[in-house]
Structures are given as structure tokens and as C-alpha cells.
């Protein structure tokens, strides 16, 4: 039963319950202008109590986020993911200070993102909101707050800071391929790695650990089951419990089709007599920096100036070639090893917009002929 009392001009409500140890707990709230308002709050608390979603704890928002992250999100995460959670905590601490969870409102949260979005790119805004939103959802589940104040937020961002995915067009890819093959030498494997990402769209880390056993030459297939962990300098198998990254989960284990041209190129590396395909003459795999240097040199040779274009950009180029040649998004998503198609659509939104504009122009031409 709820208890009500009037103190001065305001009403106070109290509800009680017993925890799992049989100890009686109390939750009190004051400051209601009428008894009806106090009763409404008490009724909501009673419903939460029946659902075992009530608590008398009222932590500071920032402190709750930090504890939540340390307990549920930090174990097994990559260093880059840990840095994202740390940045989110710093933002909460800086912008909300010692505000308690129960004092957070949708308006306060919206005001924060209105300001934050002015100076940050789309991907940063979306990831920051997603990170905080996951925490608040758990706070609701634990009965700390009745409603999720991150619901129905209008997110905006700075388009000038939003980096568009850079990629090569079909003619540029042909020129790059020709340059990479000109004078190619099996002792130096960076060029072979670049050709592989052009033909497959594999992640650079997946290419670095590729072995001969991963290639089915008869059926022209590559079996992708592992990647290079840049943080811990070791190989991670996608089907192990050790790997726990947002877009690199068990769906990353996949089989992709390749053509005979790439297989013939790679077969030349058999001469190096290593289990791992891209081991060079020194017995090492070229680093991403080394591969990027090779890429920059060849782009310069063929007269292509693209600031910031790198090894991973050729994965985007592979996607662009498939999209603009009419391959459906679902097939591309599976080939890339994304957990779901929405991730692919989100990453390549800019490219899809370009494709839509191209399709719209085609539609207009067709309609003009009616």
C-alpha cells in the first residue's frame, strides 16, 4: 500500500516492497502539488513493483554509464570500441555533470544532441547516440527509470564534417590493376594484397591472414574464417568466443566467389613456399602502412589524386563496382560479411544516393519516350 502525506503546500508519496532477501525497501518522492499527482506516481510505482522493476537507487547518470560500461561492455571489446565508450562517458560527465538518472529528460537529451550535432559528422552522432541509448535501455529494464528519455530523438549532424566514402570508378580500377601487374614480383606481396581487395572486397585484416587452405581453386571460392587483430597483434578466428566486435561477428565467416583471373595471380605466390599467402621474402606480412605506400605510389603513376585514399578504400571501391553493375544490396552485404543489410545500407548511404540519382535519370528518359 502506498502512503501519502502533505508537507506544507506539497504532497509526498511513499511505496514499499520486500527485496529477494526479505528486507523491506522504500521509494519516496516529494513535491507533488496535488494528492492526485502523488497517487498517479504511486500507482506507476506499484505497477513497476509488480513487474519487479522498482528500486530505491538513484545513481548519477554519468556514474551509472561508467559502471554499466565496465561491467557489461568493456570485456572482450577492441581498443577502438573501448575508446568510443570512454568518449561517451566523458561527454555525459561534461554535459550532464552530477544530474541523476531520474532527473534526466528527453528535452535535456535533445538539447545536448542539437549542440553536439553542429560540430560532428553523421557517423559520430549516430554511434554516440547508439552507445548512450543502449545504456539507458538497460536502466529502464533495471527499474531505475520508468521511461527511456532517448526515445524519439531528432538527430542532426554537420554535413561538412561528414566524410563521403571515396572510391575509384571502373576506368580508374582498370588503370590501377594494370599498373599493379606491371613488373609485379612475388618477393614483394603488397601489390598482390591490393589486387585481392579489388577483386574480393575482403577486409584488409582478413587478407593479411589468408592461407592456401582457405582457397577452393576447383570451385573458385575463398573461405573467410579469421582476421588480424591489430590491437593485440594476433589472428582471431571468427567462430571463437574471443572475437566480440560490432560488425565482425560470426556472420563474418563466409564463402565468396572469385574469378579465375585473381586465382591465377595468387598462384604465382606459391613460389614463396609459405602457408600464409602473402608472406614476403623476409618472412613477414606487409603492414597496412606498407600496403598504403604501395597504393599511393601506383595511384600517382596513373595520375589519380585522392587525399586519404587507402587500403580499406579499395573495399569501398569493390562495393561501388558491384552496386553500379546492378548487384543487389543483400548479396553485397553477405559478401562483405556484415551482420545485416541495414549496416551495409548505412555505411554506403552516400553511394546508394548516387545510384538512386542515376536510376532517377534513367527513369526520366524512359518516361520521356512514352
What digits encode the pLDDT tens for the residues 319-332? 988 988 889 999 99
Same domain for 157 and 217, yes or no, is no
Would you say residue 361 lies in a domain? Answer: no
Burial class of residue 247, CB neighbours in 10 A (0-12, 13-18, 19+): middle
Same domain for 330 and 292, yes or no, is yes
**Residues 267, 173: contact at Cβ < 8 Å?**
no
Own/partner contacts of 283-291, CB < 8 Å, gap of 24 or more, are: 285/189, 285/208, 286/188, 286/189, 286/190, 286/193, 288/204, 288/230, 290/190, 291/190, 291/193, 291/194, 291/204
Residue 151: its pLDDT value, please? 95
Residue 247: its pLDDT value, please? 39
What digits encode the pLDDT tens for the residues 69-113? 988 888 777 777 888 999 999 999 999 999 989 899 999 999 999
Same domain for 25 and 43, yes or no, is yes
pTM score, two decimals? 0.66
- How far apart, in whole angstroms, are the C-alpha atoms of residue 316 and residue 197? 10
Residue 53: its pLDDT value, please? 61
CATH number, domain with residue 131:
1.10.150.130
Would you say residue 56 lies in a domain? Answer: no
Same domain for 74 and 37, yes or no, is no
With a cut of 90, say whether residue 280 has pLDDT above it: no
Phi, psi angles (nearest 5°) of residue 11: -105, 150
**Residues 193, 291: contact at Cβ < 8 Å?**
yes
DSSP tag of 370? -
With a cut of 70, say whether residue 140 has pLDDT above it: yes
Would you say residue 358 lies in a domain? Answer: no
Residue 307: its pLDDT value, please? 85
Would you say residue 366 lies in a domain? Answer: no
**Residues 235, 209: contact at Cβ < 8 Å?**
yes
Q: Which of 161-175, 201-215, 216-230, 279-293 has the lowest mean pLDDT?
A: 161-175
Boundary residue ending a domain (161, 184, 218): 161
Instruction: Pull the grid cell for residue 135.
Output: 545504456
Mean pLDDT of 302-316: 92
Q: Give CA 238 to chain center in angstroms.
A: 17
* Number of domains within the chain: 3
Would you say residue 359 lies in a domain? Answer: no
What digits encode the pLDDT tens for the residues 32-79? 899 898 888 788 777 767 766 656 577 899 998 999 998 888 877 777
| Pick from 236, 176, 168: nearest CA to 206 | 236
Would you say residue 329 lies in a domain? Answer: yes
Same domain for 149 and 199, yes or no, is no
Determine the structural domain holding residue 41 and report its residue range.
3-50
Would you say residue 94 lies in a domain? Answer: yes
C-alpha dist (Å) from residue 264 to 132, 213, 216: 49, 16, 13
Length of the chain: 370
Would you say residue 261 lies in a domain? Answer: yes
Average predicted confidence (pLDDT) for the chain? 86
**Residues 215, 222: contact at Cβ < 8 Å?**
yes
Residue 162: its pLDDT value, please? 67
Amino acid at each position: 500500500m502506498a502512503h501519502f502525506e502533505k508537507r506544507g503546500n506539497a504532497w509526498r508519496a511513499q511505496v514499499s516492497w520486500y527485496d529477494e532477501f526479505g528486507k523491506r525497501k522504500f521509494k519516496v518522492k516529494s513535491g507533488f502539488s496535488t494528492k492526485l499527482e502523488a497517487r498517479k506516481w504511486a500507482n506507476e510505482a506499484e505497477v513497476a513493483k509488480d513487474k519487479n522493476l522498482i528500486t530505491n537507487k538513484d545513481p548519477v547518470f554519468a556514474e551509472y554509464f561508467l559502471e554499466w560500461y565496465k561491467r557489461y561492455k568493456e570485456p572482450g571489446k577492441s581498443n577502438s570500441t573501448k575508446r568510443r565508450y570512454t568518449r561517451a562517458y566523458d561527454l555525459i560527465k561534461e554535459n550532464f555533470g552530477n544530474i541523476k538518472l531520474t532527473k534526466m529528460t528527453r528535452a535535456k537529451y535533445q538539447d545536448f544532441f542539437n549542440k553536439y550535432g553542429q560540430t560532428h559528422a553523421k557517423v559520430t552522432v549516430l554511434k554516440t547516440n547508439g552507445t548512450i541509448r543502449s545504456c539507458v535501455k538497460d536502466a529502464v529494464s533495471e527499474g531505475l527509470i520508468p521511461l527511456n528519455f532517448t526515445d524519439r530523438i531528432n538527430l542532426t549532424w554537420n554535413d561538412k564534417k561528414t566524410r563521403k566514402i571515396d572510391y575509384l570508378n571502373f576506368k580508374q580500377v582498370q588503370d590501377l590493376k594494370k599498373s599493379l601487374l606491371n613488373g609485379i614480383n612475388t618477393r614483394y606481396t603488397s601489390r598482390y594484397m591490393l589486387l585481392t581487395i579489388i577483386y574480393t572486397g575482403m577486409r584488409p585484416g582478413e587478407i593479411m591472414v589468408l592461407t592456401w587452405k582457405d582457397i577452393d581453386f576447383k570451385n573458385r571460392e575463398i573461405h573467410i574464417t579469421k582476421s588480424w587483430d591489430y590491437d593485440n597483434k594476433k589472428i582471431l578466428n571468427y567462430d571463437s568466443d574471443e572475437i566480440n566486435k560490432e560488425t565482425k561477428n560470426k556472420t563474418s565467416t563466409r564463402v565468396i566467389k572469385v574469378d579465375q583471373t585473381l586465382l591465377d595471380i595468387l598462384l604465382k605466390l606459391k613460389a614463396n613456399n609459405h602457408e600464409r599467402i602473402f608472406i614476403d621474402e623476409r618472412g613477414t606480412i606487409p603492414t597496412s602502412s606498407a600496403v598504403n605506400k604501395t597504393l599511393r605510389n601506383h595511384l600517382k603513376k596513373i595520375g589519380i589524386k585522392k587525399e586519404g585514399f587507402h587500403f580499406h578504400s579499395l573495399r569501398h571501391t569493390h562495393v561501388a563496382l558491384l552496386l553500379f553493375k546492378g548487384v543487389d544490396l543483400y548479396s553485397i552485404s553477405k559478401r562483405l560479411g556484415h551482420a545485416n543489410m541495414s549496416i551495409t545500407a548505412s555505411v554506403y548511404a552516400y553511394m546508394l544516393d548516387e545510384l538512386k540519382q542515376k536510376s532517377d535519370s534513367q527513369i526520366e528518359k524512359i518516361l520521356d519516350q512514352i
